[in-house]
């Protein structure tokens, strides 16, 4: 291979290429972690470089399990590239081409996952502008991920006629002001394709333009109860559509519950997972553990990846275009050999489905305030703990137990795991430590969610996230009252309405990562006194607080110490925090926990 390469990564194979650049699957040399690297061509203009920077800024700020994570932006005189999470799954484009219509419940699940990914962008003031099946990946767990923001633009900015003609909203065919309603239109078009097996409109560019501008919305191609949903999502006038992805999720969930019952999503996700697993040989990481798979790649899959990459350096198609004919025996043998080696990632398989967990890589996330790439590093590790799944209730009342991913996870050396503790997977490579005997439960809605381990009367660990602007502002105001984000929240929403006790800011050694500790009052019957209720909250440059609370008897301070310290160390993955700083913060957490008992 010729041309510039990012130092510290070994290219495994090319996943897609086009006029603007190419996407490759690569291995981070120090840790062995797989990543996807999107390279711009050496001849890229400054405008193309700025688009890549904008994509990196957006991905770096997005906090959603439905958006592929950014690890690193690298720029130099010889080229530019972004290093991203290697989402192991098959593109929705490939799934539709091989599977055809997905059925209503699976299609609604795809639409919901996509809308939640778009909602994360819309919350940051970003319009995707090119939502299409090639930009959606369906992993083995059936939960779709959005993977390419190559032509995204700030909402409210004037934009030209860019996008993919099959899915472009009427306003996108000319100069217009970018709004989230355009993404809602595109997502609805893809939903119609998922349900019916056909795009809403066909023909050449001129015919597509006329159809999108003046043609009737093809509601007749979907089941009758879903037609109002499609009519709203594909309304010609943006003002007649839901104003953004989050609002459309509310419409979708209400319709889905009424038509298909409260467990519609669990059935839809199972159907998607089965369809994705049937194409597991196409997963990008299939060839990671089956060396021969890449050489046996199907010509059609490779051509599809190259075509999509030609549109916008096709990250999504690249994610889906791996080996076409990996045999079950070869996969099983390769996995057995890999698990017996000192590889940097944990691997498991079910039939031909290969699931690869996140490795212990620590790379710098790009921020607008600090565009220079920082050195990568790996963390020393100590204990190895088993990982459990956590049953989760969705907004419709359906319950699922996602795969916990790797069978084991390595814990940082700063974390001392109590004997009766377990590690529970939350998704996106995040974990929560809690008591092993009481189990775990979670709830996931459109704008909020939580995970709880244990109960308030004995010992409870809780992690929650907020997706609404008002609730995020309340958390910022509550835990980081002196921050610029809190000042903005107070201007927009008024004085803080929540309070905590003995709040302490803890310097982390990295200005972009803020940390606060606080004690709170339980709202339910607590354990017998003395007990503690301690909350640790991290907040990165994206301004989104991430709290974990431990309510426990004073005698179980070790559980609070482990849960809170582990949560903090996980938040440092994308920073350059040195080991002495990690040790110092871990000691500060332990000291705070032991003085918080009441």
Residue 357 lies in a domain: no
- The DSSP output letter for 1 is -
Packing angle between helix 104-123 and helix 245-260, nearest 10 degrees?
A: 160
389 and 267 fall within a common domain: no
Residue 74 lies in a domain: no
- The DSSP output letter for 367 is B
Residue 325 lies in a domain: no
Specify burial of residue 373 (Cβ count, 10 A radius: 0-12, 13-18, 19+).
middle
| CA trace torsion 359, 361, 367, 371 (10° rounding) | -140
d(CA 104, CA 322): 28
The CA-based angle 564-440-449, given to 5 degrees, is 75
Q: Is the peptide bond before 308 cis (omega within 30 degrees of 0)?
A: no
What are the structure tokens assigned to 518, written together? 């606080």
93 and 228 fall within a common domain: yes
Predicted pLDDT at 376: 35
206: left (phi over 0), alpha (psi -120 to 50) or beta: alpha
Confirm whether 369 is a catalytic residue: no
Residue 477 lies in a domain: yes
Domain CATH number, residue 206: 1.10.510.10
Predicted pLDDT at 395: 63
> Taking a C-beta distance cutoff of 8 angstroms, is the pair 194, 107 a contact?
yes
d(CA 63, CA 70): 10
Catalytic residue among 78, 88, 130, 240: 130
Kindly report, residue by residue over 414-470, the tens digit of the pLDDT. Answer: 998 898 898 998 876 789 999 988 888 888 776 778 899 999 899 999 998 887 788
Residue 151 lies in a domain: yes
Residue 407 lies in a domain: yes
Output the CA torsion sign for 236, 108, 58, 563: positive
Kindly report, residue by residue over 60-112, the tens digit of the pLDDT. Answer: 666 667 777 777 788 777 788 888 877 778 889 999 999 899 989 999 998 88
Which distant-in-sequence residues (6+ apart) come within 8 Å of 157 by Cβ? 177, 178
Q: Which of 267, 202, 193, 258 is nearest to 230 (CA)?
A: 193
d(CA 502, CA 516): 10
Phi, then psi, of 406 in degrees rounded to 5: -60, 145
239 and 107 fall within a common domain: yes
Which distant-in-sequence residues (6+ apart) come within 8 Å of 50 by Cβ? none
514 and 397 fall within a common domain: yes
Measured between alpha carbons, how far is residue 351 from residues 75, 151, 333 in Å? 41, 38, 12
d(CA 317, CA 301): 9
Output the CA torsion sign for 463, 354, 319, 359: positive
Query: In sequence order, what DSSP letters do the residues of 420-453 get, joined into one string?
Result: TEEEEEEETTEEEEEESSS-EEEEE-SSEEEEEE
* Final residue belonging to a domain, choices 250, 272, 294: 272
Place of tokens 């090639």: 134
Q: Which of 59, 26, 17 is nearest to 365 (CA)?
A: 59
* Final residue belonging to a domain, choices 272, 289, 323: 272
Residue ranges making up the domain that contains 219: 89-272
d(CA 387, CA 390): 10
Residue 62 lies in a domain: no
Alpha helices in 101-160 (DSSP H): 104-123
* Final residue belonging to a domain, choices 239, 256, 272: 272
Q: Show the low-confidence residues of the chain (pLDDT under 70).
A: 1-2, 17-20, 58-64, 149-161, 176, 285-384, 395-396, 401-407, 428, 446, 497, 598
Residue 14 lies in a domain: no
Give me Rg for the CA atoms of the chain: 24
What are the structure tokens assigned to 313, written together? 């350096």
Predicted pLDDT at 313: 33
| Domains in the chain, number | 2
């Amino acid at each position: 291979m010729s041309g510039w390469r990012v130092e510290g990564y070994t290219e495994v194979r090319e996943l897609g290429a086009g006029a603007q650049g190419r996407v490759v699957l690569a291995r981070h040399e120090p840790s062995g972690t797989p990543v996807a690297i999107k390279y711009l061509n050496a001849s890229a203009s400054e405008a193309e470089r700025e688009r890549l920077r904008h994509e990196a800024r957006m991905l770096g700020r997005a906090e959603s399990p439905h958006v592929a994570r950014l690890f690193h932006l690298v720029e130099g005189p010889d080229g530019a590239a972004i290093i991203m999470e290697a989402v192991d799954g098959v593109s929705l484009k490939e799934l539709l081409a091989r599977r055809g219509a997905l059925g209503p419940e699976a299609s609604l699940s795809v639409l919901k996952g996509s809308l939640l990914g778009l909602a994360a962008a819309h919350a940051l003031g970003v319009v995707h502008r090119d939502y299409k099946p090639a930009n959606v990946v369906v992993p083995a767990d059936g939960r779709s991920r959005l993977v390419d923001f190559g032509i995204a633009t700030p909402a409210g900015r004037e934009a030209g006629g860019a996008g993919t003609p099959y899915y472009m909203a009427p306003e996108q065919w000319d100069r217009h002001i970018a709004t989230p309603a355009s993404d809602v239109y595109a997502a609805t078009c893809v939903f119609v394709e998922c349900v019916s097996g056909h795009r809403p409109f066909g023909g050449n560019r001129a015919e597509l333009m006329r159809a999108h501008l003046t043609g009737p919305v093809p509601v007749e191609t979907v089941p009758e109860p879903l037609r109002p949903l499609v009519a709203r999502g594909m309304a010609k006038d943006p003002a007649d559509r839901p104003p953004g992805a989050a609002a459309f999720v509310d419409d979708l969930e209400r319709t889905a519950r009424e038509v298909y019952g409260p467990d519609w999503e669990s059935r839809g996700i199972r159907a998607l997972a089965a369809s994705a697993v049937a194409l597991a040989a196409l997963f990008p990481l299939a060839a990671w553990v089956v060396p021969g798979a890449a050489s046996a790649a199907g010509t059609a899959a490779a051509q599809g990846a190259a075509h999509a990459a030609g549109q916008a350096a096709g990250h999504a198609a690249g994610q889906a275009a791996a080996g076409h004919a990996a045999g079950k025996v070869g996969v099983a043998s390769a996995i057995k050999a890999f698990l017996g080696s000192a590889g940097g990632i944990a691997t498991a398989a079910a039939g031909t489905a290969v699931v690869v967990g996140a490795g212990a890589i620590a790379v710098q996330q790009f921020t607008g305030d600090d565009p220079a790439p920082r050195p990568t590093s790996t963390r020393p590790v100590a204990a190895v703990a088993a990982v459990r799944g956590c049953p989760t209730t969705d907004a419709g009342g359906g319950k699922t137990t996602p795969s916990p991913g790797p069978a084991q996870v390595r814990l940082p050396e700063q974390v001392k795991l109590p004997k009766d503790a377990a590690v529970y997977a939350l998704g996106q490579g995040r974990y929560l430590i809690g008591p092993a005997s009481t189990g775990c439960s979670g709830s996931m809605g459109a704008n909020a969610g939580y995970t709880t381990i244990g109960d308030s009367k004995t010992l409870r660990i809780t992690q929650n996230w907020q997706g609404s602007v008002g609730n995020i502002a309340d958390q910022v105001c509550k835990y980081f009252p002196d921050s610029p984000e809190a000042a903005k929240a107070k201007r927009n929403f008024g004085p803080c309405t929540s309070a905590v006790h003995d709040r302490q800011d803890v310097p982390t050694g990295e200005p972009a990562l803020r940390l606060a500790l606080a004690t709170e009052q339980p709202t339910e019957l607590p354990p017998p006194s003395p007990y503690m209720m301690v909350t640790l909250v991290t907040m990165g440059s994206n301004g989104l607080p991430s709290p974990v609370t431990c309510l426990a008897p004073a005698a179980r301070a070790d559980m609070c110490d482990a849960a809170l310290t582990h949560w903090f160390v996980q938040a440092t993955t994308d920073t350059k925090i040195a080991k002495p700083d990690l040790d110092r913060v871990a000691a500060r957490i332990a000291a705070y926990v032991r003085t918080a008992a009441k």
